[in-house]
Amino acid sequence: MNLGQKKKIAILISRSSAEYQYILLSRLVAKAREYGYYALVYSCFGKYGNNEAYDIGEAYITELPDFSEMNGIILAIDTFETHSVAEKILELVREKATCPVVSVRRYVEGFYNILIDDENSMEGITEHLIEEHGYRDFCFVNGPREHIDAQHRLACFLRVMEEHKVPIDPEDIYYGNFWRDAGPGAVDYLLTGRKKWPEVIVCANDYMAISVINELQSRGIRVPQDIAVTGFDDISETDATVPTLTSVRVNVREMAERAVEAVRLLEEGERVPVITYITSHVVIRESCGCGSRNSFQFEKSVRRYFDADQRSRTYLMQSMFMSINAEKAKDVDELNNVIYAFANQNENLRDFYVILNDYDWRTQDPEEFKGFTPMMHLRTAIRENRLLGHVDHVFEISEILPEEYVSEDPCGYYIVPLHYHDACLGYGVMSFSGDSVPNLFFQCFITNICTALEEIRSNMKKEALISELQQLYVSDVLTGLANRRGFEQKCESMYEAAVRKRQPMAIVGIDMDGLKDINDTFGHMYGDLALKAIANAMSAACFNGESCYRVGGDEFQMLALDYNEDMVLEYRNRFKAFLDDYNRRSGRPYIVQASFGYVIVDPKAGRPLGEWMTISDNRMYEEKNARRATRKIIRETSEEQNKQ
């Protein structure tokens, strides 16, 4: 049974190695496996600056899932930074899905929802700051205005402030970006023009809170002695900062488990609430002015943070090494060796597959690489940590992965688009041992593969163009035979081979008779047709590796290695038979004929190549002169035929 027929849950999530996504994903996959589902994780890495072409490439993830074939769908839609991608996913799910659909952390009408109780999420921490510390002068650092989480958290904060009759000026609310670089802008905005510093800055997530703390400290402002700071999410860094960060913890693991449980129950016909709320609670630390540092816990946190930093440095270094090695790959098979060498940086990796579109890299331009093709090519196969060597397994995209490569037991498959800017190359599929999920190296790994594939494609295209130019350089446009340059190159190399191998070589000169008469009487168009007839006869006469050339206006040559007199006569008879048949059938007002001369080169004679060629030419001209008086080129009824 192929993967398309197995019991499975599609999980759509972006930036899978970010902390929230990492925790959520690990529990989603583990719980899915526990209930006997294959977890198909469709993921991308999100925006890259203002690179619109890259964003288009990332958006190809929306084209991969066949939502009509899923047993359940779980959406982490708020992790997709590009609004159009998130909306496209929702549109496709609504259009095609017939299974239970669960949205995590963002409410989506018409689906089941596992949500943080954002309307009350800031309540505990705001009350703590007012009731326990007596703070009255607040500032708030929020996420983007349009972000639903930012709207809910601010609304809850303002409600609690109003309930406690603590005023806040709208000018004391800063709208940031939920990211690590928000601090300088937030502190500039909130402190500039104030007569005194605020007592506390409440932040809508931990990344911004840590950034605010760092910026305050860089200006000589102490936290919490001068200004207290709090966050939200309780990420792993909160207990390793100085001071440790007071935050709000959400049980992400419970969210994941509830989402998979909802799919299972709905599949079994059970009732499930449309909205399930996951409660949060305040984690008190030093940044609000509470708590004392636990030296053991702090040391443990610092060690964990230090280890994570070391891993990040290792991943960066390994990514650079992978990039350098991948540059040398001339084709996909060579790239596979590089992929295999660095695959172990993805901890607990079990399987990895590169699946490419059915585009022609030699003839098609990247602008034509739009979306996925109906037939796909499996080109890289690492199975159970073993590289399988050269593969080119063609299969229908609906299978996701060819049947023989699918794990017998339910597992998580992580599926990402492979693209170079907006050129869609294919997709990658990865699975791990146990409940492991992609780490921080995963994005570097995939990006290096995409860049290397584009380099291979570009080189293949260049080689094809160079080959085409070389072919044009040595080809006769009219007849399609090789031209004089091709003849000279081949003649020299074949003569060297004849001498080296001690094999006889045939040089055959063929000269078309009466070309000038045909051109003068009927026009050059008919002369060209006669020349093509000679070329076709030469090609049709070949039977033992002969090479044919048009070396001048009406001059042709044939070369052959390991040839003898009998073979030359056989070639001549075949050539003449073709022309005789052509002349009978053509209906042309002329007869196509040619004079023939040849020499069998004796490689042991020690004579230069030029002498052998002269012998062949002389024999051809002897025959031509001998036939000149009796040959008949123009048919007797030529005028009548020409009119027809």
What fold is seen in the domain 118-253+275-298?
Rossmann fold (3.40.50)
Q: Which residue has the tokens 């399987």?
A: 351
* Helical residues (DSSP H) of 59-128, grouped into ranges: 83-96, 118-121, 123-127
pLDDT at residue 18 in the model: 86
Q: What is the pLDDT at residue 151? A: 93
CATH 3.30.300.210 fits 484-643, yes or no: no
Cβ-based neighbours of 52, under 8 Å, separated by 6 or more: none
Among 438, 388, 396, 447, which Cα is nearest to 413's? 438
596 touches 509 (CB < 8 A): yes
Q: How far apart are CA 7 and CA 35, in angstroms?
A: 10
Distance CA 611, CA 209 (A): 89
Kindly state the tokens that stand for 360: 């022609």
Q: What is the dihedral of CA 635, 636, 640, 641, to 10 degrees?
A: -20
Please answer whether residues 619 and 509 qualify as being in contact, where contact means their C-beta atoms are separated by less than 8 angstroms.
yes
What does the pLDDT read at residue 298?
67
**Using CA atoms, how far apart are residues 216 and 219, in angstroms rounded to an integer?**
5
**Rounded Cα distance, 431 and 3, in Å:** 13
Helix (H, G, I), strand (E, B) or coil at 110: coil
Token representation of residue 598: 């040849």
Helices (H) and strands (E) in the chain, counts: 18, 22
Can you give the pLDDT at residue 4? 66
Tokens of 625: 């002169």
Q: Measured over all CA atoms, what is the biggest interatomic distance in the chain, rounded to whole angstroms? A: 124
Would you state the pLDDT for residue 299?
74
The DSSP call for residue 245 is P
Neighbours of 537 (CB within 10 A): 23
Question: 146: which residues sit within 8 A by CB, 6+ positions away?
Answer: none
CA distance 29 to 24: 9
Q: Which residues is 428 bridged to in the sheet?
A: 354, 416
Dig out the tokens for 338 from the structure. Answer: 């590089």
CA 460/CA 374 separation, integer angstroms: 23
Angle at CA of residue 376, ends 84 and 403, nearest 5°: 110
Q: Which residues of 149-182 are buried (b: 16+ CB within 10 A; e: fewer)?
A: bbbbbbebbbebbeeeeeebeeebbbbbbbeeeb
Under DSSP, is residue 190 helix (H, G, I), strand (E, B) or coil?
A: helix
CB 215 within 8 A of CB 186: yes
The pLDDT value recorded for residue 1 is 44
Cβ atoms of 208 and 175 within 8 Å: the answer is no
Task: Answer yes or no: are the C-beta atoms of 71 and 263 closer than 8 Å.
Answer: yes
Residue written as tokens 């490419």?
356
**CA angle (72 as vertex; 70, 78 as ends), nearest 5:** 110
Q: Closest by alpha carbon to 139, among 105, 81, 182? A: 182
Taking Cα atoms as reference points, which of 531, 597, 540 lies closest to residue 568?
Answer: 597
Distance CA 535, CA 148 (A): 75
3-state SS, 292-342, equals CCCHHHHHHHHHHHHHHHHHHHHHHHHHHHHHHHHCCCCCHHHHHHHHHHH
Averaged pLDDT, groups of 10, the chain, 644 residues long: 79 91 94 96 87 90 95 95 91 96 94 90 95 97 91 95 96 94 97 94 97 97 97 89 93 96 96 94 94 69 78 90 93 95 93 95 86 95 94 94 92 95 95 88 94 92 82 86 92 94 96 94 94 96 96 95 96 96 93 95 92 95 86 68 46
Instruction: Please provide residue 43's backbone torsions phi and psi, each rounded to the nearest 5 degrees.
Output: -135, 160
Which candidate, 153, 167, 162, 257, places its Cα nearest to that of 206?
153
Contact 354, 426 (CB under 8 A): yes
Domains of the chain: which residue ranges? Answer: 3-115+310-461, 118-253+275-298, 484-643
